[in-house]
Amino acid sequence: MEWWKDALIYQIYPRSFQDSNGDGIGDLPGIIQRLDHLQELGVGAIWLSPVYRSPNADNGYDISDYREINPEYGTMEDMEELIAQAGRRGIRVLMDLVINHTSTDHYWFRSSRDRTSPYADYYCWSHGAPGGRLPNNWTGFFGGDCWEFDPERCEYYLHLFARSQADLNYRCPAVLEEVKDVLRFWLAKGVAGFRCDVINLLWKESLEDGRRRPVLTGLEHYLSREGTHDILRQLRQVLDEYGAFTVGEAVFVTPAMARDLCGRDRRELDLVFSFQHMECDQILVKWLKRRFRPKAFFDCLVRWQQELDWNALYLENHDQPRSIPRFGSERYWKESGKLLATLLLTLRGTPFLYQGQEIGMVNFDFTRLRQLNDVESKNVDKILRRFHVPQKLRWRILSRTSRDNARTPFQWDGGPQGGFTGGRPWLGVNHNCAAINLADQEKDPDSIWSWYKDLAALRRDRAALRHGSFVPLEAGAQVFAYRRELEGERMTVVLNFSGKPASVSHRGALVRSNYPREGFDGQLGPWEAVILEEET
């Protein structure tokens, strides 16, 4: 059963969702306390960013034990309770599966340092090139080279991400068997599936030098290689034993590459998170931003809508700055927040909502580099310093792109620490929590939260909005319009991505507008979103 085609999926960043014991860190009991919120929103599944044991170099994306819960987040009993309590509310639980790398604290890695151990080949070890040079010229996702020398083994190990995230070696057959066991362990507990971290990087075709590129030299040796497809087909067999669902995060994929990962006949993943629409406002790398041009964004969305049968739709996650300041307008905070909600919930695919998006949370209001926590931001800062980039400019770059923008604690109410914790939060709560919080928005039928709730219900109600075909109508410098069509049910969505009014030729009976209006005459206010229905 493809339940995920009808569901709205909600991403939780556990560390920042709800703290239950005053230590300033969100936890599993905190999530349980807030399940009613998710049920009210109409969420069909939650995806938890990693909650496994981890030294937290990359907030859980560096796992040191796949079968244990990070004590900061609670116990295995709490996890089982969460699965049960969510289940009672009709909410499935998805875990984050990080299998490209483990933490260097994992006992596999620690054992791997000994060449005679059964774990010796679990990681990508290499002697290095003659003359004391690194094994190759590859560069990593967080900037800089991606090799680290281990004095105990007297070899280098590969890490495409942080130094303490060592890449697993899938040429060693035991690694895949270990991963299969991990899948079974969680599926037996009642987990409904996984979001698979950087899943198209698993197979390293060779460790030869890469073509020099401004970023990620070496990419051609490990991006979506055939070996990765093989691994995914093998994992699929385990998943099928439980009817489990997977969405894979696939970096740098084109629609054709995504089809190879999630085409129905391929028996690999169910869905793919792609990045092209998130790259419309960047130059080469995510740290160099350019002005957001809606037209490029619309064209990209149209291409993906047309080239894939079913998309994983998202505008935010824990790696991206918040969507309102990025694609919308803080001046028209409410209007543009609702417009982006409309886009997310009316395209063809499965919408993924990131915590805080439903109340229009915006980027952090930090003022100093030392308020940042993210390992990526810190690495980039180090590199910029090395190039003598002045502090002001470093701050300008990092404050706009830092992943911490999306990681500040959830703003439940206008009280101290936004209702997130009774203690000192691990990452600062935005001072705007008096103005942007759930408690206020729940009372307000005109709030962004109420709009999300209403649209989620409309989507459940109208088959055309879920399963209808996608027909682009207009993708200009300012207006994006498309139709969703299913067996005579025709719904038109018109979105004005601008602070200036617009006039369009699309007509129909008004189903929804984020402005108070009775009918639709083709005139759109700033950041207005309307849903129309063809009159029969």
Give catalytic residues, as residue numbers: 197, 249
Give the nearest distance from C-beta 423 to Ca ion in angstroms.
Answer: 8
Give the nearest distance from C-beta 19 to Ca ion in angstroms.
Answer: 4
Q: Is the CB of 335 or the CB of 381 nearer to ligand ISL?
A: 381
Instruction: Among 221, 286, 378, 484, indicate the residue that binds ligand ISL (CB under 6 A).
Output: 286
| Binding characters for ligand ISL, 155-174, by CB under 6 A (x = yes) | ------x-------------
* Bridge partners, 245 (sequence order): 193
Pairing label, strands 9-12, 45-48: parallel
Instruction: Among 35, 41, 134, 251, indicate the residue that binds ligand ISL (CB under 6 A).
Output: 251
Instruction: Among 45, 98, 158, 502, indicate the residue that binds ligand ISL (CB under 6 A).
Output: 98
Give the nearest distance from C-beta 24 to Ca ion in angstroms.
Answer: 7
Interface of this chain with ligand ISL, residues 173 to 202, rule: CB under 6 A: 197-198
* Residue 161 site contact among Ca ion, ligand ISL, none (CB < 5 to 8 Å, cut-off depends on kind): ligand ISL
| Residues near Ca ion, by CB under 5 A | 19, 21, 23, 25, 27
Give the nearest distance from C-beta 23 to Ca ion in angstroms.
Answer: 4
Q: Is the CB of 46 or the CB of 343 nearer to Ca ion?
A: 46
Give the nearest distance from C-beta 468 to Ca ion in angstroms.
Answer: 43
263 CB-contact burial (10 Å; exposed 0-12 / middle 13-18 / buried 19+): middle
> What stretch of H or E contains 47?
strand 45-48
107 CB-contact burial (10 Å; exposed 0-12 / middle 13-18 / buried 19+): exposed
- The whole-angstrom distance between residue 203's C-alpha and the CA centroid of its chain comes to 22
Instruction: Among 17, 61, 123, 482, indicate the residue that binds ligand ISL (CB under 6 A).
Output: 61
Which contacts (CB < 8 Å, 24+ apart) does range 221-230 have? Answer: 221/138, 222/160, 223/251, 223/252, 224/200, 224/250, 224/253, 224/257, 224/260, 224/261, 227/170, 227/202, 227/203, 228/199, 228/200, 228/201, 228/202, 228/203, 229/260, 229/261, 229/266, 229/268, 230/203
* Residue 194 site contact among Ca ion, ligand ISL, none (CB < 5 to 8 Å, cut-off depends on kind): none
- Total residues binding ligand ISL (CB under 6 A): 14
* Residue 198 site contact among Ca ion, ligand ISL, none (CB < 5 to 8 Å, cut-off depends on kind): ligand ISL
Pairing label, strands 9-12, 65-69: unpaired
Q: Is the CB of 61 or the CB of 410 nearer to ligand ISL?
A: 61
List phi, psi (to 5°) of 194.
-140, 150
> What stretch of H or E contains 228?
helix 226-241
Paired tokens of 27 = 């936890």
Euclidean distance between CA atoms 371 and 363, whole angstroms: 13
Catalog residues that contact ligand ISL under the rule CB under 6 A: 58, 61, 98, 141, 161, 197-198, 249, 251, 286, 318-320, 403
